[in-house]
Structure 1
Amino acid sequence: MDLGLFDTWGESAVSRAYVIENILMFIPLGILLPLLHGRFRNGWYCASAGLAISGLIEGMQLVTARGFFQIDDIATNVAGTIVGWGTVRILAEIHQHKKYCKNM
Protein backbone atom coordinates (compact mmCIF):
# COMPACT_ATOMS: atom_id res chain seq x y z
CA MET A 1 0.00 0.00 0.00
CA ASP A 2 1.32 3.43 -0.96
CA LEU A 3 -0.63 6.43 0.32
CA GLY A 4 1.81 9.07 -0.91
CA LEU A 5 0.68 11.35 -3.70
CA PHE A 6 3.06 11.55 -6.70
CA ASP A 7 5.30 8.82 -5.26
CA THR A 8 5.01 6.77 -8.43
CA TRP A 9 6.70 9.43 -10.56
CA GLY A 10 10.31 8.44 -9.92
CA GLU A 11 13.71 8.65 -11.49
CA SER A 12 13.33 5.76 -13.91
CA ALA A 13 11.57 5.70 -17.25
CA VAL A 14 9.61 2.64 -16.11
CA SER A 15 8.08 4.43 -13.13
CA ARG A 16 7.08 7.35 -15.34
CA ALA A 17 5.62 4.94 -17.88
CA TYR A 18 3.32 3.55 -15.15
CA VAL A 19 1.93 7.03 -14.52
CA ILE A 20 1.34 7.69 -18.22
CA GLU A 21 -0.14 4.21 -18.64
CA ASN A 22 -2.70 4.86 -15.89
CA ILE A 23 -3.76 8.11 -17.54
CA LEU A 24 -4.05 6.51 -20.98
CA MET A 25 -6.00 3.55 -19.62
CA PHE A 26 -8.91 5.73 -18.41
CA ILE A 27 -9.18 8.11 -21.38
CA PRO A 28 -11.64 5.74 -23.14
CA LEU A 29 -13.88 5.82 -20.04
CA GLY A 30 -13.93 9.61 -20.17
CA ILE A 31 -14.89 9.44 -23.84
CA LEU A 32 -17.53 6.72 -23.56
CA LEU A 33 -19.44 7.92 -20.49
CA PRO A 34 -20.65 11.24 -22.00
CA LEU A 35 -21.56 9.46 -25.23
CA LEU A 36 -23.56 6.77 -23.43
CA HIS A 37 -25.50 8.96 -20.99
CA GLY A 38 -26.21 12.68 -20.97
CA ARG A 39 -25.59 13.04 -17.23
CA PHE A 40 -21.88 12.41 -17.78
CA ARG A 41 -21.60 15.41 -20.10
CA ASN A 42 -21.16 17.26 -16.82
CA GLY A 43 -17.46 17.08 -15.99
CA TRP A 44 -18.06 16.56 -12.27
CA TYR A 45 -20.24 13.51 -12.88
CA CYS A 46 -17.75 12.04 -15.32
CA ALA A 47 -14.77 12.62 -12.99
CA SER A 48 -16.76 11.20 -10.06
CA ALA A 49 -17.50 8.06 -12.07
CA GLY A 50 -13.79 7.72 -12.88
CA LEU A 51 -13.01 8.15 -9.18
CA ALA A 52 -15.56 5.53 -8.16
CA ILE A 53 -14.41 2.98 -10.74
CA SER A 54 -10.74 3.54 -9.98
CA GLY A 55 -11.43 3.39 -6.24
CA LEU A 56 -13.26 0.11 -6.73
CA ILE A 57 -10.35 -1.35 -8.68
CA GLU A 58 -7.78 -0.20 -6.13
CA GLY A 59 -9.98 -1.34 -3.25
CA MET A 60 -10.24 -4.81 -4.78
CA GLN A 61 -6.44 -4.91 -5.09
CA LEU A 62 -6.15 -3.99 -1.42
CA VAL A 63 -8.71 -6.53 -0.21
CA THR A 64 -7.53 -9.42 -2.36
CA ALA A 65 -3.80 -8.60 -2.02
CA ARG A 66 -3.48 -8.89 -5.80
CA GLY A 67 -1.75 -5.85 -7.13
CA PHE A 68 -0.55 -2.81 -5.25
CA PHE A 69 -2.92 -0.19 -3.79
CA GLN A 70 -1.68 3.30 -4.65
CA ILE A 71 -3.31 6.68 -4.28
CA ASP A 72 -1.34 7.76 -7.35
CA ASP A 73 -3.20 5.21 -9.46
CA ILE A 74 -6.53 6.69 -8.41
CA ALA A 75 -5.35 10.25 -9.14
CA THR A 76 -3.92 9.37 -12.55
CA ASN A 77 -6.98 7.32 -13.50
CA VAL A 78 -9.23 10.27 -12.70
CA ALA A 79 -6.89 12.51 -14.70
CA GLY A 80 -7.29 10.14 -17.66
CA THR A 81 -11.07 10.26 -17.30
CA ILE A 82 -10.96 14.06 -17.34
CA VAL A 83 -8.72 14.06 -20.44
CA GLY A 84 -11.22 11.79 -22.21
CA TRP A 85 -14.16 13.97 -21.13
CA GLY A 86 -12.29 17.08 -22.31
CA THR A 87 -11.68 15.46 -25.68
CA VAL A 88 -15.41 14.86 -26.10
CA ARG A 89 -16.20 18.43 -25.07
CA ILE A 90 -13.71 19.89 -27.55
CA LEU A 91 -15.02 17.71 -30.38
CA ALA A 92 -18.61 18.64 -29.50
CA GLU A 93 -17.73 22.34 -29.59
CA ILE A 94 -16.05 21.95 -32.98
CA HIS A 95 -19.08 20.07 -34.28
CA GLN A 96 -21.46 22.77 -32.98
CA HIS A 97 -19.31 25.50 -34.51
CA LYS A 98 -19.29 23.79 -37.91
CA LYS A 99 -23.05 23.29 -37.73
CA TYR A 100 -23.56 26.98 -36.83
CA CYS A 101 -21.29 28.22 -39.64
CA LYS A 102 -23.01 25.97 -42.14
CA ASN A 103 -26.43 27.48 -41.30
CA MET A 104 -25.27 31.07 -41.83
Structure 2
Amino acid sequence: MTNAQLASIQWGLFLSVVFLLPQLLFRQLTWRGATITVYASMLFAATFLPMQTVPPRQAVQLVPFQWIADTFRDGQIAFDQMTLNVLLFVPLGAMLMFWGRRTVGQAALIGYGVSLLIEGSQLLWANRIFDVDDLITNTTGTALGWLGALAAVKVYARVKTVAVPQRSLASVR
Protein backbone atom coordinates (compact mmCIF):
# COMPACT_ATOMS: atom_id res chain seq x y z
CA MET A 1 0.00 0.00 0.00
CA THR A 2 1.36 3.40 -0.95
CA ASN A 3 1.70 6.40 1.36
CA ALA A 4 -1.04 8.19 -0.59
CA GLN A 5 -3.43 5.26 -0.03
CA LEU A 6 -2.61 5.19 3.69
CA ALA A 7 -3.20 8.94 3.88
CA SER A 8 -6.57 8.46 2.17
CA ILE A 9 -7.58 5.84 4.72
CA GLN A 10 -6.58 8.15 7.57
CA TRP A 11 -8.58 11.00 6.03
CA GLY A 12 -11.57 8.69 5.55
CA LEU A 13 -11.52 7.63 9.18
CA PHE A 14 -11.18 11.26 10.30
CA LEU A 15 -14.11 12.34 8.11
CA SER A 16 -16.19 9.41 9.38
CA VAL A 17 -15.74 10.58 12.95
CA VAL A 18 -16.47 14.20 12.01
CA PHE A 19 -19.73 13.24 10.29
CA LEU A 20 -20.79 10.63 12.86
CA LEU A 21 -20.40 12.90 15.89
CA PRO A 22 -23.39 15.17 15.11
CA GLN A 23 -25.56 12.13 14.45
CA LEU A 24 -24.47 10.69 17.78
CA LEU A 25 -24.92 13.97 19.69
CA PHE A 26 -28.43 14.53 18.35
CA ARG A 27 -29.35 10.86 18.87
CA GLN A 28 -30.01 10.36 15.16
CA LEU A 29 -27.46 7.60 14.68
CA THR A 30 -28.73 4.36 13.17
CA TRP A 31 -26.77 1.38 11.83
CA ARG A 32 -27.83 2.22 8.30
CA GLY A 33 -26.90 5.88 8.72
CA ALA A 34 -23.56 5.02 10.31
CA THR A 35 -22.76 2.52 7.56
CA ILE A 36 -23.59 4.98 4.80
CA THR A 37 -21.65 7.78 6.53
CA VAL A 38 -18.51 5.69 6.99
CA TYR A 39 -18.70 4.32 3.44
CA ALA A 40 -19.27 7.76 1.88
CA SER A 41 -16.40 9.24 3.91
CA MET A 42 -14.02 6.45 2.88
CA LEU A 43 -15.15 6.67 -0.76
CA PHE A 44 -14.59 10.43 -0.81
CA ALA A 45 -11.19 10.14 0.85
CA ALA A 46 -10.05 7.32 -1.45
CA THR A 47 -11.06 9.14 -4.61
CA PHE A 48 -10.19 12.76 -3.79
CA LEU A 49 -7.72 12.90 -0.91
CA PRO A 50 -4.99 13.87 -0.70
CA MET A 51 -5.62 16.47 -3.41
CA GLN A 52 -3.07 16.58 -6.18
CA THR A 53 -1.46 19.99 -6.61
CA VAL A 54 0.33 19.13 -9.84
CA PRO A 55 -1.84 18.14 -12.81
CA PRO A 56 -1.13 14.65 -14.17
CA ARG A 57 0.81 14.23 -17.42
CA GLN A 58 -2.23 12.54 -18.93
CA ALA A 59 -5.72 13.82 -18.07
CA VAL A 60 -7.85 11.15 -19.74
CA GLN A 61 -7.27 7.42 -20.24
CA LEU A 62 -9.88 5.96 -22.61
CA VAL A 63 -8.31 2.59 -23.51
CA PRO A 64 -10.28 -0.23 -21.84
CA PHE A 65 -8.18 -2.70 -19.84
CA GLN A 66 -5.07 -0.51 -20.11
CA TRP A 67 -4.33 -1.56 -16.52
CA ILE A 68 -3.19 -4.96 -17.83
CA ALA A 69 -0.44 -3.38 -19.95
CA ASP A 70 0.34 -1.05 -17.03
CA THR A 71 0.77 -4.08 -14.77
CA PHE A 72 3.36 -5.57 -17.14
CA ARG A 73 5.11 -2.20 -17.41
CA ASP A 74 4.84 -0.91 -13.80
CA GLY A 75 4.51 -4.14 -11.87
CA GLN A 76 2.17 -4.95 -9.03
CA ILE A 77 1.07 -1.34 -8.37
CA ALA A 78 -1.32 -1.18 -11.35
CA PHE A 79 -2.86 -4.55 -10.44
CA ASP A 80 -3.26 -3.52 -6.80
CA GLN A 81 -4.91 -0.25 -7.85
CA MET A 82 -7.50 -2.07 -9.95
CA THR A 83 -8.13 -4.57 -7.16
CA LEU A 84 -8.68 -1.73 -4.69
CA ASN A 85 -11.07 -0.07 -7.16
CA VAL A 86 -13.16 -3.23 -7.28
CA LEU A 87 -13.12 -3.61 -3.48
CA LEU A 88 -14.02 0.06 -2.97
CA PHE A 89 -17.38 -0.44 -4.67
CA VAL A 90 -18.31 -3.84 -3.19
CA PRO A 91 -20.01 -2.20 -0.16
CA LEU A 92 -22.15 -0.05 -2.47
CA GLY A 93 -23.44 -3.16 -4.23
CA ALA A 94 -24.18 -4.86 -0.91
CA MET A 95 -26.02 -1.80 0.40
CA LEU A 96 -28.09 -1.59 -2.80
CA MET A 97 -29.03 -5.26 -2.44
CA PHE A 98 -29.90 -5.12 1.25
CA TRP A 99 -31.46 -1.68 1.56
CA GLY A 100 -32.21 -0.55 -1.96
CA ARG A 101 -34.00 -3.72 -3.08
CA ARG A 102 -32.40 -3.27 -6.50
CA THR A 103 -31.67 -5.88 -9.14
CA VAL A 104 -28.06 -6.63 -10.04
CA GLY A 105 -28.48 -4.66 -13.27
CA GLN A 106 -29.85 -1.64 -11.43
CA ALA A 107 -27.06 -1.87 -8.86
CA ALA A 108 -24.42 -2.03 -11.62
CA LEU A 109 -26.00 0.97 -13.36
CA ILE A 110 -25.99 2.95 -10.10
CA GLY A 111 -22.37 1.92 -9.47
CA TYR A 112 -21.49 3.07 -12.99
CA GLY A 113 -23.24 6.41 -12.39
CA VAL A 114 -21.48 6.99 -9.07
CA SER A 115 -18.17 6.05 -10.68
CA LEU A 116 -18.79 8.38 -13.64
CA LEU A 117 -19.61 11.22 -11.24
CA ILE A 118 -16.39 10.57 -9.31
CA GLU A 119 -14.23 10.29 -12.42
CA GLY A 120 -15.65 13.50 -13.89
CA SER A 121 -15.17 15.32 -10.58
CA GLN A 122 -11.61 14.07 -10.29
CA LEU A 123 -10.85 15.37 -13.76
CA LEU A 124 -12.40 18.79 -13.11
CA TRP A 125 -11.41 19.51 -9.51
CA ALA A 126 -8.86 17.09 -8.13
CA ASN A 127 -6.13 17.09 -10.80
CA ARG A 128 -6.55 13.35 -11.27
CA ILE A 129 -6.90 11.15 -14.32
CA PHE A 130 -10.29 10.23 -15.81
CA ASP A 131 -9.76 6.51 -16.37
CA VAL A 132 -12.20 4.27 -18.24
CA ASP A 133 -10.70 1.29 -16.39
CA ASP A 134 -11.93 2.81 -13.13
CA LEU A 135 -15.47 2.89 -14.55
CA ILE A 136 -15.17 -0.79 -15.48
CA THR A 137 -13.68 -1.95 -12.17
CA ASN A 138 -15.99 0.19 -10.01
CA THR A 139 -19.05 -1.12 -11.84
CA THR A 140 -17.72 -4.67 -11.49
CA GLY A 141 -17.16 -4.11 -7.77
CA THR A 142 -20.75 -2.92 -7.34
CA ALA A 143 -22.12 -5.99 -9.13
CA LEU A 144 -19.86 -8.33 -7.13
CA GLY A 145 -20.99 -6.68 -3.89
CA TRP A 146 -24.62 -7.20 -4.87
CA LEU A 147 -23.99 -10.85 -5.79
CA GLY A 148 -22.03 -11.43 -2.58
CA ALA A 149 -24.85 -9.96 -0.50
CA LEU A 150 -27.38 -12.15 -2.32
CA ALA A 151 -25.23 -15.22 -1.66
CA ALA A 152 -24.98 -14.28 2.03
CA VAL A 153 -28.78 -13.93 2.25
CA LYS A 154 -29.30 -17.32 0.57
CA VAL A 155 -26.77 -19.05 2.85
CA TYR A 156 -28.34 -17.45 5.93
CA ALA A 157 -31.83 -18.55 4.84
CA ARG A 158 -30.62 -22.10 4.23
CA VAL A 159 -28.85 -22.30 7.60
CA LYS A 160 -31.92 -20.92 9.33
CA THR A 161 -34.26 -23.50 7.75
CA VAL A 162 -31.94 -26.44 8.46
CA ALA A 163 -32.30 -26.02 12.20
CA VAL A 164 -31.55 -28.95 14.46
CA PRO A 165 -34.87 -30.58 15.43
CA GLN A 166 -35.55 -30.38 19.14
CA ARG A 167 -36.84 -33.40 21.00
CA SER A 168 -40.01 -32.90 22.98
CA LEU A 169 -40.38 -33.92 26.58
CA ALA A 170 -43.03 -36.48 25.56
CA SER A 171 -40.58 -38.42 23.42
CA VAL A 172 -38.08 -38.67 26.29
CA ARG A 173 -40.48 -40.56 28.56
TM-score, normalised to structure 1, is 0.88
Q: Give the whole-Å Cα distance in 1 for the aligned partners of 2:98 and 2:131.
A: 29
Q: Does 1:99 align with 2:99?
A: no
Q: Please give the residue correspondences for 1:1-104 in structure 2 after superposition, counting only pairs within 5 Å.
A: 1-9=60-68, 10-11=71-72, 12-38=75-101, 40=102, 42-64=103-125, 66-102=127-163
Q: Which moved more, 1:42-51 or 1:59-68?
A: 59-68
Deviations 1:52-77 (A, max 9, x none): 00010001122235211000000000
The one-letter amino acid paired with 2:108 is: A
Q: Give the whole-Å Cα distance in 2 for the aligned partners of 1:33 and 1:66.
A: 30
User: Which is helix-richer, 1 or 2?
Assistant: 1
TM-score, normalised to structure 2, is 0.55
Point out where structure 1 has 5 or more consecutive residues left out of the alignment: none
Contact 2:87–2:141 at 8 Å: present in 1 too?
yes
Identity of aligned residues (%): 29
Point out where structure 2 has 5 or more consecutive residues left out of the alignment: 1-59, 166-173
In structure 2, the CA distance between the partners of 1:65 and 1:98, relative to structure 1 (3 Å rule), is closer
Give runs of ≥4 in structure 1 deviating > 6 Å: none
If asked which structure has higher relative contact order (CA below 8 Å, sep 6+), I would say 1
**Greater radius of gyration (CA):** 2
Q: Give the whole-Å Cα distance in 2 for the aligned partners of 1:44 and 1:75.
A: 14
In structure 2, the CA distance between the partners of 1:91 and 1:4, relative to structure 1 (3 Å rule), is same
Calculate the aligned-residue CA RMSD, in Å.
1.8
The one-letter amino acid paired with 2:141 is: G
Q: Give the whole-Å Cα distance in 1 for the aligned partners of 2:149 and 2:81.
A: 24
